[in-house]
Amino acid sequence: MDRVLIEALAVETVIGVYDWERTIRQRLVIDLEMATDIRAAAAGDDLAHTLDYAAISARIQAYADESRFELVETFAERLAALLRTEFSIPWLRMTLRKPGAVPEAAAVGVRIERGTLAPAMGQLA
């Protein structure tokens, strides 16, 4: 499987366990790696045959705008499920960082993988 990447996508959302965090929007930074087969898109130079990273990025922004979670784990898990469903993504790896959450660290966060990768055996181009 090939991979489509979105790196360091910054979004703002309401996230956090403390009362003061529930009254502000905070920045999250998302790295996303999504499995797909790009050969048909490349052969025809056709966006319809690949993952549209602009559309996916816009959907992530909209999701962040409407979300209100305490944990980055919840945000990541639900976003992964949404993306896999809406964009028919068989496998993804997401790293979600919350900069400034711990003063001594550049960021804290989670990395998750969801779905399965199709076996590469027998898929010679």
The two beta strands, 2-15 and 68-69, are parallel
Tokens in use for 125? Answer: 């181009």
Ramachandran sector of residue 58 (left: φ over 0; alpha: ψ -120 to 50; beta: rest):
alpha
Instruction: Based on the residue annotation, tell me whether 97 is a catalytic residue of this protein.
Output: no
Q: Which of 66, 98, 99, 111 is catalytic?
A: 98
Give how far Cα 74 sits from Cα of 4, 25, 80, 96, 110, Å.
23, 16, 10, 11, 10
Distance from the Cα of residue 106 to its chain's centroid: 20
Residues labelled catalytic:
98
